[in-house]
Amino acid sequence: MNPVVRWFHQLGSPPYFDRFSARWAPVAHGLGLLVMAYGLYGALFVVPADYQQGDSFRILYIHVPSAWMSMAVFALMATYAAIALIWRIKLCEILAMACAPIGAAFTLITLVTGSIWGKPMWGTWWDWDPRLTTELILLFLYLGVIGLYNAIDDRRSGARAAGLLAIVGVVLLPVIHYSVTWWNSLHQGQTISLFGKSHMDASMLPPLWAMVVGTHVWFVGSLLARARADNLRREAGKEWVAKLVRAQS
């Protein structure tokens, strides 16, 4: 068998996944923290203040990566949920459900930091603007997925129901992305482009890309740690868990 395919099959085994996540989650967290520290240093102490917004523009360095993560994590959650529904892979159920609290955390950061930036710039903490409203709906969807998963006693049934909600919720992602184009929005249009030309000065971009990379790597660490916790909860009482605690004590 191809070694990569074999590795994927092995990863589906709960004890193997526990060892894998216990080993790599701290590495990803550490690496993510390091890259984010570099980005935060640049954002707070290196780049100059904006000529119109002053220092408030520095909020962008946590707001934008969090906003991107809030949508990317939802897309990943729906992908895992679809794989879990089609091929009944238990690990994908676990990974899909582990995505939800992390995505909710990034969405919360997006909304709160956006609100804090909005007060001095727009003169208000909140506006029922299409971008803000759709992002708020995304938070409710995340909370719905978490609530549904925990409301059903049988973990597998709960994961399937919550996964279905995640798959249906994907329709919101293009609405969030294009909300500033489709409607007359208070929120500014696309300023930073991954492949095209960005409207930000080049000197302001490196810390932002560091934060984007850092939050992605951090997410991998959080995903592994949360999936490991859920894996242990589901597998409680199995022989490999007993062996694990015997080995630890």
Partner 1 sequence: MGREAGKGAIVSYRDYVIAAYGVFAVVMLWDFFAPHVAIRQYVRAARQRAARMAGTGKDTGFPLSRD
Q: Which segment (78-86, 156-164, 184-192, 220-228) binds partner 1 by CB under 8 A? A: 220-228
- Of 61-69, 126-134, 138-146, 158-166, which segment contacts partner 1 by CB under 8 A? 61-69
Residue 12 or 54 having the CB closest to partner 1: 54
Quick check: 120 binds partner 1 (CB under 8 A)?
yes
Binder of partner 1 out of 11, 27, 34, 49 (CB under 8 A): 49
Asked if 247 is part of the footprint of partner 1 (rule: CB under 8 A), the reply reads no
Instruction: Give residue 30's identity as a one-letter amino acid code.
Output: G
Amino acid present at 214: G
**Is 249 near partner 1 (CB under 8 A)?**
yes
- Distance CA(118)–CA(129), nearest Å, equals 12
Sign of CA dihedral 124, 127, 133, 137: positive
Question: What's the one-letter identity of residue 50?
Answer: D
> In which residue are the tokens 């009944």 written?
88
CB 41 within 8 A of CB 216: no
Closest contact distance (angstroms) between CB of 18 and partner 1 is 10
- Most distant pair of Cα atoms in the chain: their distance: 63
Q: Rounded distance, CA 129 to CA 110, Å? A: 14
**Binding interface with partner 1 (CB under 8 A):** 29, 40, 44-45, 48-56, 58-59, 62-63, 66, 101-102, 105, 108-109, 112-113, 116-117, 119-120, 218, 222, 225-226, 228-229, 232-233, 236-237, 241-242, 244-246, 248-249
